[in-house]
Amino acid sequence: MKRRSLLLGAAAGLAAPTLLSPAAPALGAPRPAPARGVATVFASTGSVWPRRNLAARLTTLPPQTNQVLIVGTTSATTTYATLEAYERGRGGWTPASALVPARIGSKGFSDNHVEGVPTTPTGVYSIGPTMYGIDANPGVRYPYHRLVNGDWWNENPSSSLYNTFQHSSTNPGGASEALWQEVPAYTHFAVITYNMPPNVSKPVPNAGSGIFLHQFSTSAGNATAGCVSLAHDDLVDVLAWLDPALSPRIVLSPYAQMRRY
C-alpha cells in the first residue's frame, strides 16, 4: 500500500489501552531466548494483560495453527487498535503478550478493501514466508531478507506480478513501493497474506496489495495506508515470537465482528 506513512492522527499521539489488569513486565527486559514452540511473554511498558481470551473464541483457525495475533478495534472507523498474541498448548489458548498499542489504516477496517484506499482489510491471514527489513535480522525465526536498492513491492494491478516482492532495476509501475527507501516504517516487517496465497490462489487485480505488519513512521504512532503498525520494540518482539513451525495467523477485525472468525 503506497505511502503507508500517513500522518493522520499522529499529532494526537497513541491512545493507551483502557482495560485494567496487573502491569506487564517492561518491554525489553532481559530474558533467555525461547525454545521453538514455547510461548514468549512480551509487552509494552505500561501495557495491561487481556481480561478475556479472544483466541479461545475463534472458530475458523486451521487445526495446525498454534500461534495467533489478534488486532482489534472498538469501531470499524477508528485508526487506533490493540494487538494481542496467544499460543495454543495442551491446555488450550493462553496469552503470550499484554495488550500492545497499534495503528491501522486512516479509514479504519473494511470488509472490501481495494487498491489505493487506506483501509485495513478484515479477515484471517497467514504470515508471509519471508520477513524483510532495511536493518539486519533482529532475531526472527522466519527466513529474513535485508532490503537493498532495487527491492520493490509490486503494486501495479496490471502487472502479472501484482502483490509480490520483486528485485528489479526498474519500477514495476503503478503505486509500487521502493521498499529500501521506507524509513523507518520498513526497518523490519512481516507480510500479511491479504490478496495473496494461501488466502487466494492468485492476487486479484485492484483488490489491494502490500499489507504489512511494520513499524510506526512517527515516534507518536500514526495511521497507515492499510497496514498494521507498532512501536519498534513491540514489533521486534512480535516478529521474534512468531514461529513458522506453529503456523501462525493474524486476525484483523473490529471487536464487534470478531465472532465471524
Residue 165 to residue 11: CA distance in whole angstroms: 32
Burial of 223 (0-12, 13-18, 19+ CB in 10 A): buried
Angle (nearest 5°) at CA 199 between 194 and 202: 90
Partners of 88 in beta bridges: 93
Note down pLDDT in tens along the chain; length 261 residues.
Answer: 544 444 333 333 343 333 222 233 332 334 344 444 444 556 555 568 888 899 999 999 999 999 999 999 999 999 999 999 999 999 999 999 999 999 999 999 999 999 999 999 999 999 999 999 999 999 999 999 999 999 999 999 999 999 999 999 999 999 999 999 999 999 999 999 999 999 999 999 999 999 999 999 998 899 999 999 999 999 999 999 999 999 999 999 999 999 999
Residue 261 to residue 59: CA distance in whole angstroms: 6
